[in-house]
Structure formats: C-alpha cells, structure tokens
Amino acid sequence: MIKPHGSDTLNPLLVTDPQQLQALQTEAESLPSLQLNSAAAANAVMLGAGYFNPLDGYMNLADALAVAENLHTVDGLFWPVPVLNLVEDASAIADASRIALRDPNTEGNPVMAIMDVSAIETVSGAQIEMMAQQIFATTDPEHPGVATFTGLGRNLVSGSIQVLSLSYFQADFPDTFRTAGEIRDEIAQRGWNKVVAFQTRNPMHRAHEELCHMAMERLEADGVVVHMLLGKLKQGDIPASVRDDCIRKMVELYFPANSVMVTGYGFDMLYAGPREAVLHAVFRQNMGCTHLIVGRDHAGVGDYYGAFDAQTIFADRVPAGALEIEIFNADHTAFSKKLGRVVMMNEADDHTKDDFILLSGTKVRQMLGDGIAPPPEFSRPEVAQILMDYYQLESA
C-alpha cells in the first residue's frame, strides 16, 4: 500500500488506549483551557484522525509563513496550507505550558485535546494578509475562506497535541465518518491496490458519477473512495446528511458491487482552490489512495480561480517526489446529446455548446425547489428525488 506522507507508517494523534485516555481526561480538568474556534477544532480532528500525518500539532509562526509562501515547513516538510490554532484572546493561557482544548461544536464544550504549548506568538496584520493572499490567491473579504481566516484572531498558539475526541463526527455520521487509518484498513480488507479518491462537498450528479467510472477504467483501478466533507460549509450548500443519502443511492444503483467506498471526513471547507486541492492530495495519500481526481474548479468558489488552476499547481508548485499520490486530471464533464452519454468536453472535438446539456448550479437548485426534476441526463432520477424532497421541505 502507498506510504503515508512524510513517514513510513501512519501516526494519528487520537489517543485510543482506554487507560491513557481516562488519565488524560482526568488531567484535563485541572488544566487551563482554551475554547477553540471551528477552524482550529477541524484541524484537531484531522490531526487526530491521521489525515494530517506526519504533523504532531499546530504550526508555529515561522512554519506557517514558510508553508504559506513556499509550501514547506522550516525543516523542509512539504505542506500546502498552514495548520493553525489562531485565537482572539490568549490571556487565560498566557503562562501555561500544558492546556486543555475545548470543542466549540459540541454542547458543553468538552475537552477534545491536550496541548503542550511551545509558543504563543502575535501575528501582524501584514502577516495575516500575506498568508491569506498565498493560500486563497486573494484578500477579498467577500471570499468565504478569506473572511473566516482573517477573522480568527492574531494570537497563534502552537505545539503538539494529544487528541481525546473527534468532536461530533463519529456520533452524527457513524456510517460515513472514517479516520485515515480505518480507510487504509478497509482498502486492505477489500484487496484493493490502485485506489482513486473522489472529493465532494456536493451531491454527485451524472457528471461526477461518470468521472469516477472514467478514472477507474482508464487507471485500471480496483476501487473508488468517495470522500465527502462533513464539516462546515458556506450558506446554501447541501447538508452532509442529504449528500450522504444521494451518494449512497447512486452507488447502490449505478456502480458494481465492491467498487466504491462511501466515506467522509471532519473538516471545514477552506474554498482555497489550488492550495486546497494539494491538501486534498496529501490527506488522500495518508488514507491509502494512489490517485486523486482533480476536476474543473476543484475546491473553488465564485470566480476567484481559473478553471484548471487546481491541476496546474501540481506541475508548477509541487516538487518532484514531494507526493507519491498521482493526479487524475479531469476536464468539465457534460452529457453529449450526440453520443448519448457523459463525456469530458475537451475530448469531444466535433461538438458545439448546443450538443451538450449544461445546467448551472443556480438553475438546478431553482428546479429542485420548484419540485421539477432535472433532466435524467444531468441527475439520476433517484438522486433528484432525494434533493427535491429536501428543497421542498426547506421552502415549506
């Protein structure tokens, strides 16, 4: 199986030994505590679940700046996006060397990690702006990722962590949320060697479905891991539970048995386009996938990124040998009326725009809200029905 990024074996930070866990939970009650924001809590979940291997905790300012500017830590580890614990007020932990980190997304704010504090540093406005520009390719406050990042605070708390809880994800999504190690184990159990990852924060329509079929066929892959984001999205995105239902129905009806794993991970969407695509590659390697599908405007939002910037960054900015996972580059896909099937548009030389069925996301949402099913060439009818039920309930 493909090695994790940066180490020979996966080293998740989640404490699983019952006695050690109990001892740490007891210790946590006597420690100064810090309530995390959602972004820092999501980073703790990813560290705990092994997705951010080989990191041992939150980055300090020097590493954050180096990663933002040059895609590697001070010590030379390739990494695409700073993994930070930024806070507005660090006065409660100012003199502490060991602290409890509390979960902002679970009732009662239970302790989710214990941290050995290595530094508490002040980040200047100029440094925040530089990092935002490098990560998101813009400092526009209307960009949802920029708005979140620049509003997290100016105190950077860094150090290694021991994760005691993966927040609400295991309880709320018991059939879908999986750690990187659990996915590796299932890949091994299924006997898969060449494995394609498909990233999604949306329900899968015909074009997404066909992309997975194309990648499996062209790469001669054993299977696809559909890996959906279960954390915070922007307003208007489809809730994770609805996406889960849609994807499972599609897999059940339109894929061969033992060819797809439907899983999810606990992270907040960054909307960082190219940089986020590289982060996706890093943690898909950590969970045992050999290939990642990167399509048009992968992890993008609005018009902030070029259609294929998330593909070209791998050639332009990722050093040779930095990652073992390979990228399956995909063009925009659409249903061809000429051929009667979904195709990559760049492979249909004899087509004009009128030969494709193209629907905008806005148009599809409007149709669903009005109780009108999108054409079967765009969305499987069983999937469309789940979405129509959701939109009509929302508008009721």
What would the pLDDT profile of 174-217 be if each residue is shown by its tens digit? 999 999 999 999 999 999 999 999 999 888 888 899 999 999 99
The residue that leads in pLDDT, 236 or 263, is 263
Q: Are residues 83 and 190 in the same domain?
A: no
Q: Is residue 77 part of a domain?
A: yes
User: Taking the CB of residue 190, how many other CB atoms lie within 10 A of it?
Assistant: 14
Express as a percent the part of the chain with pLDDT over 70. Answer: 97
Q: Are residues 91 and 202 in the same domain?
A: no
Residue 165 reports pLDDT greater than 70: yes
Rounded-to-integer distance, Cα 388 and Cα 365, Å:
9
Q: Are residues 347 and 237 in the same domain?
A: yes
Q: Is residue 2 part of a domain?
A: no
Provide the whole-model pTM.
0.94
pLDDT of the residue at 396: 64
Residue 235 reports pLDDT greater than 80: no
Q: What is the average pLDDT across 262-285?
A: 96
The amino acid present at 102, given as its one-letter code, is R
DSSP character at residue 239:
P
Select from 170, 205, 234 the last residue of a domain: 170
Q: Among 35-44, 45-54, 360-369, name the one with the lowest average pLDDT.
A: 360-369
pLDDT of the residue at 172: 92
Q: Is residue 12 part of a domain?
A: no
Q: Are residues 147 and 189 in the same domain?
A: no
Select from 136, 170, 204 the last residue of a domain: 170
* Token pair of 391 as six digits: 């939109």
pLDDT of the residue at 339: 86
Residue 85 reports pLDDT greater than 90: yes
Q: Is residue 11 part of a domain?
A: no
Strand partners, 226: 198, 262
| H or E stretch at 341 | strand 341-344
Q: Is residue 205 part of a domain?
A: yes
Q: Positive or negative, the Cα torsion across 160, 111, 84, 199?
A: positive
- Going by C-beta distance under 8 Å and a sequence separation of 6 or more, which residues neighbour residue 86? 37, 39, 40, 123, 152, 153, 154, 155, 156, 157
* Helix then strand then coil, % of the chain, to nearest 5: 40, 20, 45
Query: In whole angstroms, how far apart are CA 272 and each of 62, 143, 148?
Result: 21, 9, 12
Strand partners, 364: none
Q: What is the average pLDDT across 249-266?
A: 96
- Domain range spanning residue 54? 18-170
Residue 234 reports pLDDT greater than 70: no
Nearest Cα to 77, choosing from 24, 7, 21, 131?
7
Q: Are residues 237 and 101 in the same domain?
A: no
Residue 10 reports pLDDT greater than 80: yes
Q: Is residue 128 part of a domain?
A: yes
Q: Is residue 319 part of a domain?
A: yes
Residue 230 reports pLDDT greater than 80: yes
Query: In whole angstroms, how far apart are CA 339 and each of 116, 214, 260, 325, 355?
Result: 60, 16, 26, 33, 9
Q: Among 231-240, 258-267, 330-339, 377-386, name the one with the lowest average pLDDT.
A: 231-240
pLDDT of the residue at 362: 66
Q: Is residue 10 part of a domain?
A: no
**Residues tagged active-site:** 201-202
pLDDT of the residue at 32: 97
Residue 290 reports pLDDT greater than 80: yes
How many independent structural domains does the chain possess?
2
CATH of the domain at 140: 3.10.400.10
pLDDT of the residue at 333: 82
Residue 361 reports pLDDT greater than 70: no
Tell me the pLDDT tens digit for each residue of 86-108. 999 999 999 999 999 999 999 99
Q: Are residues 184 and 166 in the same domain?
A: no
Q: Are residues 164 and 191 in the same domain?
A: no
Q: What is the mean pLDDT of the chain?
A: 94
DSSP character at residue 353:
G
Q: Are residues 194 and 77 in the same domain?
A: no
Residue 236 reports pLDDT greater than 80: no
- Going by C-beta distance under 8 Å and a sequence separation of 6 or more, which residues neighbour residue 110? 102, 103, 165
Q: Are residues 159 and 219 in the same domain?
A: no
Q: Are residues 182 and 147 in the same domain?
A: no
- Going by C-beta distance under 8 Å and a sequence separation of 6 or more, which residues neighbour residue 104? 35, 36, 37, 38, 41
Select from 139, 170, 201 the last residue of a domain: 170
CATH of the domain at 330: 3.40.50.620
Residue 360 reports pLDDT greater than 80: no
Q: Are residues 372 and 244 in the same domain?
A: yes
Pairing of strands 155-163, 98-102: unpaired
Q: Are residues 338 and 381 in the same domain?
A: yes
